[in-house]
Amino acid sequence: MKKYKYIINNLDCANCAREIEEGLNKDKRLCNVHVNFSTSKISYETTHNISLKELNELVKKIEPESFITQEDINTETDFNIIIFIIAIVIFIISIFVKNKIINNMLLIITYILLLYKIIIKANKILINNHSIDENFLISISCIGAFLIGSKAEGIMVITLYTIGKLLEHYAINKSRSSIKNIIDLKVKNVQIKEGTSYKDVPVEEVNIGDVVLLKKGDRVPIDGIIKKDSTFDTSSITGESEYVKIKKGKSVFSGYINIGDTIELEVTSLYQDSMIARILDIMEDATEKKAKTENLVSKWSKIYTPVVISLSLILFLFLSFIGNLSFKDSLYRSLTFLVISCPCAIVISIPLSYFSGLGIASKNGILIKGSNYLDQICSLKKIIFDKTGTLTTGTFNVESIEIIDTNYDKDKIIELLRMGESKSPHPIAKSIMNLSNKKIDETKIKDYHEEIGHGISYRINNKKVFIGSKKMCNCDYDTDLHLNVNGKHIASITINDGLKDGVKETINYLNNQKIKTYMFTGDKNNVAKAIAESLNISDYQSEMLPEDKYNYYEKVSSNMLTAFVGDGINDAPTLKRADIGISMGNVGSESAIEASDIVIMNDDIKKISLLFEISKYTKKIIIESLIFSLSIKVLTLILGSIGMVSMWLAVLADTGVTLVTVINSLRIIKKYNNIQNKNSCVT
């Protein structure tokens, strides 16, 4: 099954996006249809050959003004503005015309010019999709105002509504543009080397082995190896503010910016497999995993309009038969009720707020795979950290060697240790090998065996040597590593792996947030205890194998929202199992990106504090928008029902609230746009 992605144009309503998504998902040829209102993208999977024309026909049955293209196009509203201006001019002329017949004709022409597109759209949706939307509500209200003699007020309503929609269209596009500027790091064309010259080609056509020209200030278009030393701005990928010097022959990732002189890059991956392509795919797919608030609003919006029409009818009947109002006054108030009730502010601002949070987190080097994870982070009750590579650097050093058997001197012990560790890929092995520069004769090493999580054994000159845990080496010393020869304990070795920068600040931040912290490690109990106590970690588990972490996660989480933070390699199973898996993934680590729900791209643990702050602030903005929009609507509904709000003031309140909530969502971007230049650990 193949996945397709396109641009969907003229999508100014989140409710319309939901209806298109649900409508297309009913087509048996299409699977997993997702319409992203925030980025105006549509994606789906299918085994059928469906043309763009056929897809557009399906979309137009649901949302007549929306259409699908392969690339972004300019959808200016100049024609609509011209028609709008002509209508207003005719209305102004009608004010000065004294002849009643001509005056009515001019007003009818004004109504037609202002309402015809709205009525056509409302009817198409009603006929094709068997549903009613805000276009239907506005049409009923304005036609009703005309019929009861409030012609000028009806024109005022549609005029304010049209101006509001134009401003809303501008605000939404501005919001989308702000988000796209953060996450859209793709370079469309590159210069590849052909002989002694270069030619422009689309980035998708670049092949592995091609040589690409990178001038000063150019963004790296595709992953590769540089042919000359240079300096790069990596902030768009890692969120790191300081420039990084990278030497000739080393890898650089798409999205970096070349700050040095002109250089050449040898391509090592196709564009679709590059770092930036994977990040953009994840960001575009992120809104498919919706937060509870989004799902709740989506379900609520399905029944909203029918309920509003029913309440408007009840209000009309109540005022007419019980409230003793005239037919005209009762109908006017019920029509005002319809105008006030348009749900745009809520259904538009929420997805924009979440996507603003996702986008700004990405700019700061935090890749979040769904708005549901962004929403949940600030509600975490527990967080578990792997030790090595997450809390500690993972760069091991031999701190001390305690000789137990005095028949062996230090040089001999080091020789035996180095012979055993010379064949091991474990990081500790490197620290042992660094103890001496003497060449090792590997031909003397016989029967080499490594038992993962416990240690290694080998035979030399009829001596059986064990290097590893106290269980393997048959001793009671509680240190990191032991040496046993022919069943006798010879020496104990203490290994040190230092804490990462910012670990203490991050743990303190989490403790202040009342989040219980845990540490899982395969290290010895005394080492684990010392680190846990020094960091003020609530609880820890030591001497764990990878499968132990997975199994013990169940006990720790105990049905409470729990995150696991690991290095994305041997912690992959637990990262997958966790409610929220956070990977401290070095840039380019595929296992980190694949296994976890959130990736800290530059391995900076301080970004966890920033992640919590972005999550909290995004939720704060959403709550503000919900409270503000609902409060204004409820207040206006009450005032409208008792005749204290006119129809034109109602539509002004509706469009005004929508604009305020859309602009409010952009505060998330503004607040954290330049955070990488500051201390990420927010307190």
Active site residue ranges: 386
Closest CA to 343 of 138, 173, 144: 138
Q: Are 610 and 502 in contact (CB under 8 A)?
A: no
Between the two ends of the chain, the Cα-to-Cα distance in Å is: 47
What are the Cα distances from residue 231, in Å, to 144, 247, 260? 67, 9, 5
Tell whether the torsion through CA atoms of 657, 659, 662 and 666 is positive or negative: negative
Kindly state the helix (H) or strand (E) to which residue 449 belongs, with its residue range. strand 446-451
Q: What value, to the nearest 5°, has the Cα angle with vertex 58 and ends 354 and 310?
A: 65
* Cα 344 from Cα 661, distance rounded (Å): 10
**φ, ψ at 226 (rounded to 5°):** -85, 145
Cβ-based neighbours of 499, under 8 Å, separated by 6 or more: 391, 392, 393, 531, 534, 535
Which SS3 state, helix, strand or coil, does residue 495 take?
strand
Kindly state the helix (H) or strand (E) to which residue 233 belongs, with its residue range. strand 230-233
Cβ-based neighbours of 204, under 8 Å, separated by 6 or more: 271, 272
Closest CA to 278 of 599, 4, 640: 599
Tell whether the torsion through CA atoms of 193, 198, 199 and 201 is positive or negative: positive
Amino acid at 396: F
Pairing of strands 516-520, 263-267: unpaired
Strand order in the sheet with 31-36: 31-36, 41-46, 2-9, 67-69
Beta bridge partners of 37: none
Tokens in use for 51? Answer: 């043309």
* Cα 352 from Cα 622, distance rounded (Å): 10
Cβ-based neighbours of 241, under 8 Å, separated by 6 or more: 235, 676, 677
* Cα 521 from Cα 332, distance rounded (Å): 70
Kindly state the helix (H) or strand (E) to which residue 489 belongs, with its residue range. strand 488-499
* Cα 277 from Cα 221, distance rounded (Å): 10
Query: CA gyration radius for the chain?
Result: 33
DSSP state, 586? P
Tell whether the torsion through CA atoms of 285, 291, 292 and 294 is positive or negative: negative
Kindly state the helix (H) or strand (E) to which residue 508 belongs, with its residue range. helix 503-512
Which SS3 state, helix, strand or coil, does residue 136 take?
helix
Q: Are 663 and 624 in contact (CB under 8 A)?
A: no
Which SS3 state, helix, strand or coil, does residue 465 take?
strand
Cβ-based neighbours of 130, under 8 Å, separated by 6 or more: none
Which SS3 state, helix, strand or coil, does residue 139 take?
helix
DSSP state, 486? T
Q: Are 203 and 190 in contact (CB under 8 A)?
A: yes
